[in-house]
Amino acid sequence: GTLERATFRSEIAQNGTIQFDILEAADGTEVPATDHGTKDSSVTLADDTTLQIDLSSMTTGTNALTKGNLYLFKITTPSASYDTNVTIVYKWDITS
C-alpha cells in the first residue's frame, strides 16, 4: 500500500517547515526507528486552517508500505501546535 496524503490543522499558526516522517521497525525490534520516508512542506499557515500534505512524492525515501511491517508517523511543526487534528489517507491493494 501507499500513504496518499495527510491533513494537518492546529489552533496555532505555523510559519516554517512542517516535516512528516515515516519510521519503520526493523525485523526483531519493537520500536520504529529506521527512516522510511520524509516529506518537508514549507508553510505560512494561519491558525485553524487545514493543510493537505501530498505524500505521492517524498523529500526522501518512499511512501510505500509493506503489509505486516510496523510503522510510526511523526509530524514536526515549526512551533508548538497545541490542539491538533491529523488525518492520514492510505491506499491498499487488497488483491494480494
Does residue 96 surpass a pLDDT of 70?
no
pLDDT given at position 68? 87
Query: How far are the Cα atoms of 23, 24, 27, 47, 96 from residue 73, in angstroms, in the given order?
Result: 6, 9, 18, 22, 24
pLDDT tens for 10-53 read: 999 999 999 999 999 988 888 999 999 999 999 999 999 999 99
Which residues lie closer than 8 Å to 59 by C-beta, 6 or more apart?
Answer: 38, 39, 40
3-state secondary structure of 72: strand
d(CA 81, CA 68): 32
pLDDT given at position 94? 78
Q: Is the pTM of this model over 0.85?
A: yes
Burial category of 40 from C-beta neighbours within 10 Å (exposed 0-12, middle 13-18, buried 19 and up)? middle
